[in-house]
Amino acid sequence: MKRRAFLRRVFGLVVFLSVLVLSCARGRQPAVPADLILEKGAIYTVAEAQPWAESVAIAGGKIIYVGDRSGAARFRAANTKVVDLAGKMVLPGFHDSHAHPVTGGVELGQCNLNDLNTKEEIFAAVRRYAAEHPEKIWVQGGGWALPVFPEANPTKEELDRLVPDRPAYLNAADGHSAWVNSRALEMAGITAKTPDPKGGHIEREARTGQPSGTLRESAQGLVSKLIPETTAEEYLAGLEAALALANRFGITSIQEADADEKILDTYAELDRRGSLTARVLASIYVDPEKGLDQIPGLVLTREKYKGRYLRAEDAKIYMDGVIESHTAALLEPYLDRPGDRGTPLVEAERMNRLATAIDKAGFQIHIHAIGDRAIRMSLDAIEAAQKENGPRDARHHIAHLELIDPSDIPRFGDLGVVANFQPLWAYPDLYITKLTEPILGPERSRWLYPIGSVVRNGGMIAGGSDWSVSSMNPLDAIQVAVTRRALEDAAGAAWLPDELVDLPTMIAAYTINGAYLSHQEKITGSIEAGKAADLIVLERNLFEIPASEIHKVKVVLTLLDGKEISGTLPKGTDQD
Ligand SMILES: [Zn+2]
């Protein structure tokens, strides 16, 4: 007792003296001098205790102070750079919780047909690419929109006119169909006599039975297997291009949605070079056919790819395909195909066993599920894993979530499964009005992308782009989630207005919730002292503009660990 009292007195004296020393130093040199102070900004911290601030001080890549201007001044020293934000907005760096940066980046160097809305535009883009790249043995690329062509069926004759001299292979935007020319069909030996491969379909001319130029699902492989494999250099260049784009949109953390060893090697190489400009959590592809035997291999892969910014702790399982091509697994049949409700890619028993074993091995499970049946089976599998292994801080998640049966909506909150939405898809474009609603009917279509319902029922939402399937810009997705209208529609009714969410909810989805989903919420995801300085500066305050203008706002600066990875700091004033 005595001894403790004595120690307390000594301790108190030490504290007193330290405070005295620190107070004397103040005014000259702060205890921790800031490298950078951003001041006079609209800083939205995403931290409950202090949602708004005007200044943030950074030292050694970390946030050391958030608050008012005079508070930040205490960290100002001779070498501190001070930047007047002039009211610009600051947010935590964005998290894209589902993207394909390596393969998408490779596509950037190929013939890019994304976001072209007419045949004429698509034809012109193919012709231009072929002319600019005489050195390419194959004309390869993709992104053409299915609704542009009658029955989503472009022809080989159309492509022959654009690329007469070489084989050409162009993926549809959803990746489930390919458009090829006569040269490619000849090389693959596909004729009127070639049967459809299992799980695929060769579109044919009605009169002759000859292949017409579009290949569906596994039939794509008949041609794609002939294309020379992408090299490691092409992967590296692709990832660098994708990261530059991501950083320009303010993204500082990414969940790679589907990684094999080649893709992981690409991340690891950039990480080693110090040029991986985002924190990456990779999802390792799991082949359901290989069953439990592959789990020791997954564990070895996880161990192998631990880097400064790289981790491979997610395991990716595909439960189904997509609604437009009737490959999503539904609880009730497609309206235009009596009796057909799509087939899950993994059978329920096998999925439960697989999920249980992967959970037990300490992985986070990342499931692709689009149809209401696939989503229910995914929730069932996670529930089975929890029952068998006991609760664990796993943070499993399901991505895409296009059609959720209302009875399953509360299960996200109940099971602690994060709903990883691609909110940019949640407005009535041609995919919805022409290819989805007609085959689901109005009753089911009410439950397309039920983001608001998941939030109201206690589920956590995160946001991902699924780039290169759709735009990587988080502000595009945030705008659609808060308007449920096309980006260019300044006014009008929201589609399924009960599913609207507000701006703070969406900013959280792309920041702190993304950080939580990658087990990084103590490091990043909000602007708080002690966290990494992963920050972005936006030219306008998102809370002060009409929602329809959110997608036009530019990110002018992106910092990762306090380092400028996109944009440049405005000229600062140095101390006095
Ligand atoms: Zn994806």
The C-alpha atoms of residue 368 and residue 379 are separated, in whole angstroms, by: 12
**What pLDDT is attached to residue 315?**
98
CA dihedral 51, 52, 57, 60 (to 10 degrees): 30
Is pLDDT at 26 greater than 90 in this prediction?
Answer: no
- 466 alpha carbon – ligand 1 mean position (Å): 5
Q: Report the chain's mean pLDDT, rounded to a whole number.
A: 93
> What tokens were used for 178?
């390919």
- 256 alpha carbon – ligand 1 mean position (Å): 9
Of the CA atoms within 13 Å of residue 32, those in its CB half-sphere come to 14
The C-alpha atoms of residue 197 and residue 220 are separated, in whole angstroms, by: 10
- 573 alpha carbon – ligand 1 mean position (Å): 44
The C-alpha atoms of residue 202 and residue 216 are separated, in whole angstroms, by: 6
**What pLDDT is attached to residue 114?**
87
- 323 alpha carbon – ligand 1 mean position (Å): 15
**What pLDDT is attached to residue 21?**
41
pLDDT in tens, 260-317: 999 999 999 999 999 999 999 999 999 998 999 999 999 999 999 999 999 999 999 9
- 70 alpha carbon – ligand 1 mean position (Å): 46
pLDDT in tens, 531-561: 999 999 999 999 999 999 999 999 999 999 9
Q: What angle do CA 42, 46, 47 make, to 5 degrees?
A: 110
The C-alpha atoms of residue 436 and residue 504 are separated, in whole angstroms, by: 30
Greater pLDDT, 374 or 115: 374
Count of H helices and E strands in the chain? Answer: 20, 25
pLDDT in tens, 422-449: 999 999 998 899 999 999 999 999 999 9
- 246 alpha carbon – ligand 1 mean position (Å): 16
Contact 355, 209 (CB under 8 A): no
**What pLDDT is attached to residue 209?**
96
Is pLDDT at 28 greater than 80 in this prediction?
Answer: no
The secondary structure of 80-112 as a DSSP string is -EEEE-TT-EEEEPEEEEEE-HHHHHHHHTSEE
**What pLDDT is attached to residue 200?**
85
Residue 175's pLDDT band (boundaries 50, 70, 90)? Answer: confident
Is pLDDT at 19 greater than 70 in this prediction?
Answer: no
- 559 alpha carbon – ligand 1 mean position (Å): 26
- 306 alpha carbon – ligand 1 mean position (Å): 23
- 100 alpha carbon – ligand 1 mean position (Å): 7
pLDDT in tens, 455-484: 999 999 999 999 988 899 999 999 999 999
**What pLDDT is attached to residue 401?**
98
- 396 alpha carbon – ligand 1 mean position (Å): 16
All residues at 6 or more sequence positions from 169 whose CB lies less than 8 Å from its CB, including other chains:
138, 139, 140, 178, 179, 180, 184, 223, 224, 227
**What pLDDT is attached to residue 384?**
98
- 468 alpha carbon – ligand 1 mean position (Å): 9
Of the candidates 415, 396, 412, 413, the residue with the CA atom closest to the CA atom of residue 404: 412
Tracing tokens 């012109």 back to the chain, one arrives at 124
- 99 alpha carbon – ligand 1 mean position (Å): 6
pLDDT in tens, 119-129: 999 999 999 99
Dihedrals phi, psi of 347, to nearest 5 degrees: -80, 150
Contact 204, 211 (CB under 8 A): yes
**What pLDDT is attached to residue 13?**
46
- 150 alpha carbon – ligand 1 mean position (Å): 26
- 318 alpha carbon – ligand 1 mean position (Å): 10
- 400 alpha carbon – ligand 1 mean position (Å): 8
pLDDT in tens, 301-356: 999 999 999 999 999 999 998 898 888 999 999 999 999 999 999 999 999 999 99
- 471 alpha carbon – ligand 1 mean position (Å): 12
- 436 alpha carbon – ligand 1 mean position (Å): 19
Contact 477, 423 (CB under 8 A): yes
- 320 alpha carbon – ligand 1 mean position (Å): 12
Of the candidates 412, 501, 487, the residue with the CA atom closest to the CA atom of residue 457: 412
Percent of the chain whose pLDDT exceeds 70? 94
Q: Where are the alpha helices (DSSP H) in 145-294?
A: 156-162, 182-188, 221-224, 232-248, 261-273
Residue 574's pLDDT band (boundaries 50, 70, 90)? Answer: low
pTM: 0.88
Tracing tokens 């579109």 back to the chain, one arrives at 203
Percent of the chain whose pLDDT exceeds 90? 86
Contact 116, 269 (CB under 8 A): no
Q: Is 257 exposed, middle or buried (0-12, 13-18, 19+ CB in 10 A)?
A: buried
Contact 326, 215 (CB under 8 A): no
Compute the Cα dihedral for 154, 155, 158, 160 and give only its sign. Answer: positive
- 257 alpha carbon – ligand 1 mean position (Å): 6
Contact 74, 517 (CB under 8 A): no
